[in-house]
Chains A and B, each alone.
Chain A
Amino acid sequence: MAVKQISVFMENRPGTLAEFVELLRGHGIDMRALSLAEAADFGVLRTIVSDPDKAQRVLAEAGFISAVTPVLAVAVSDEPGALYHILETLKNAGINLEYSYAFTTRKNQGAYMVFRVADDCLQKTAELLEENGIGMIAQEEIYSL
């Protein structure tokens, strides 16, 4: 159920994000979700793209440092308490989120949360969410949303 997320090292100077986006555009790679975390001198961009393998290849050729990380894209229904229900499930199972970000879809006005958990509890987390009726989206489906 995991989705491949691309993480990219971004030096903190004007134009780095533009260079990255330009590169994806040039290779016809589409982004569905994007988050940028910043430290003093650099940032880490995280994105979910239409073709992660191609994206990583293109990035490497252009001299970017990147990594592919498995994350979970979890469906959150548009009602109060929906996210809490999911997080409570994780909390009760003692699962820690390393980071998270959200994206919305065109279909059904739906929202998704991307959850990054430690690699060794990825499988357990996916199973737990499924048992509790919490929907996740697979890589191949993400672009049909």
Chain B
Amino acid sequence: MGKKYYQEDIECAPREEISKWQSEGLVRSVRNAYENSEYYRGKMEERGVKPSDVKGVEDIHKLPFVSKEDLREAYPYGLLCRPLSECVRIQSTSGTTGRRVIAFYTQHDIDAWEECCARAIVAAGGTRDDVVQVSYGYGLFTGGAGLNGGSHKLGSLTLPMSSGSTERQIQFMQDLGTTILCCTPSYAAYLGETVSEKGLKGTIKLKAGIFGAEAWSEEMRRDIEEKLGIKAYDIYGLTELEGPGVGYECEEQRGMHICEDQFIAEIIDPNTGETMPDGEKGELVFTSLNKEAFPMIRYRTRDICVLSHEKCSCGRTHVRMAKPMGRSDDMLIIKGVNVFPSQIETVLINNGYSPNYQLVVDRVNNADTLDINVEMNQEMFSDTLSEISARERALVGALKGFLGIYARVHLVSPKSIERSEGKAKRVIDKRKLY
């Protein structure tokens, strides 16, 4: 057995100490944002707040929220608080055209992020003697880089596999005795299925997995644990904040401990913006405490969640977040890509179809599928199938180009998609993730 914690003095710090860090960090972060980003300064001035008004964590409600729209508007440098010469890396969301968000990191920011990931690996039972296979995508996506860095920090043998090439993934697991697997839960489920179908469970030495970047259910957890013979841990994060490691599960597997020395987590009412008490369901909002290049002040994640300060028997004192239970906006995450129904609407209209459509999202063999029912109209109709099919293919191509993922299109009769008097029911998500 190795250490139970990566940074015990931080992870198990008494509440008073955490509060002190948070107050100091908040003051520091607000000043950093105000002084170095015109965009942040503008937002704070609009709200009539000066850095001197924020003396501690109790003043956080005075600050304006930052949303994904702000990040888009300020793209690329509007929220940057350090000269580029001090930045060492950029990562980006998997976001689609027009929604892409890039984040900047100084070396200090990277170190803090990787420490959070190292904590997650240790919380999943990892030690420097473990072999950690990182099968998240690398590149701009934060998954690969984050866990890779965390594993390095811990001193584990790190296999930077990236995603895909399932046979090779399993081969490496067998040959190098991988003990900890890091990837998306859907890829873990796929690997589990392959391992179990080929009867290879006895040939691999996995003991734990760290799976995030996607919503997944308890059923899926049990399935992965059974098929790979491991304990499966959830991890939470987002590029806007740093990447994976903002929150991570301990051996209790009952909520993810949020790294409270790095972030203040709040739950707000998504409609009013009012802060909500512990145990109540609302939108998760984060404020970074130590980020230099890209501080986030009250960033609205859109994830609907519950926080708990209840004592955890693992000994960690940091607040826990439940698995997100949905989103406060209409964003769908399909194959790891952020998809907004409004984007699909735009493509349909640009291609001559009516904005009456229905999206059906499902998960087949652990991979997301997107089907779009589109109403035929007079302009798109022709008496030859080949012409209609060509138009259909053009639409599929336009969707792929715009969204970055493949969607099956089904042409249906006009007026056959249900109209509702209130908000249209545009999305049928059969994945049962929340």
Q: Does A125 contact B (CB under 8 A)?
A: no
Can you list, as one digit per residue, whether each of A96-133 has a CB less than 8 Å from chain B (1) or not (0)?
A: 00110000000000000000100000000000000000
Looking at A9, A41, A46, the one whose CB has the most chain B CB atoms below 10 A away is: A9
Using CB atoms, name the residue of chain B closest to A5. B383
Q: Is the CB of B416 within 8 A of A44?
A: no
When the two chains form the complex, which single residue of B377, B384, B388, B413 contacts A98, counting CB atoms closer than 8 Å?
A: B384
Query: What is the number of residues of chain A that contact chain B, defined by CB distance less than 8 Å?
Result: 22
Q: Does B376 contact A (CB under 8 A)?
A: yes
Q: Is the CB of A67 within 8 A of B382?
A: yes
Looking at A44, A63, A66, the one whose CB has the most chain B CB atoms below 10 A away is: A44
Query: What is the number of residues of chain B that contact chain A, defined by CB distance less than 8 Å?
Result: 17
Q: Determine the distance from Cα of A69 to Cα of B178 in the docked complex, in whole angstroms.
A: 66
Can you list, as one digit per residue, whether each of B396-434 has a CB less than 8 Å from chain A (1) or not (0)?
A: 000000000000001111111000000000000000000
Interface of A is mostly: strand
Using CB atoms, name the residue of chain A closest to B412. A11
Q: Is the CB of A63 within 8 A of B414?
A: yes
- Could you say which residues of chain B place their CB within 8 Å of the CB of A64? 413-414
Using CB atoms, name the residue of chain A closest to B410. A41
Instruction: List A9-68 residues whose CB lies under 8 Å from chain B.
Output: 9-11, 16, 37-39, 41-42, 44, 46, 63-67
Looking at A10, A42, A99, the one whose CB has the most chain B CB atoms below 10 A away is: A42
- Could you say which residues of chain A place their CB within 8 Å of the CB of B377? 65
Using CB atoms, name the residue of chain A closest to B411. A42
Q: Is the CB of B381 within 8 A of A65?
A: yes
When the two chains form the complex, which single residue of A10, A63, A99 contacts B384, counting CB atoms closer than 8 Å?
A: A99
Q: Determine the distance from Cα of A94 to Cα of B88 in the docked complex, in whole angstroms.
A: 66
Q: Is the CB of B412 within 8 A of A41?
A: yes
16 contacts between A and B (CB under 8 A): A7-B381, A7-B383, A9-B376, A9-B381, A11-B411, A16-B413, A37-B385, A39-B385, A42-B388, A46-B383, A64-B413, A65-B377, A65-B381, A66-B381, A67-B381, A99-B384
Residues of A in contact with B (beta carbons under 8 Å apart): 5, 7, 9-11, 16, 37-39, 41-42, 44, 46, 63-67, 69, 98-99, 116
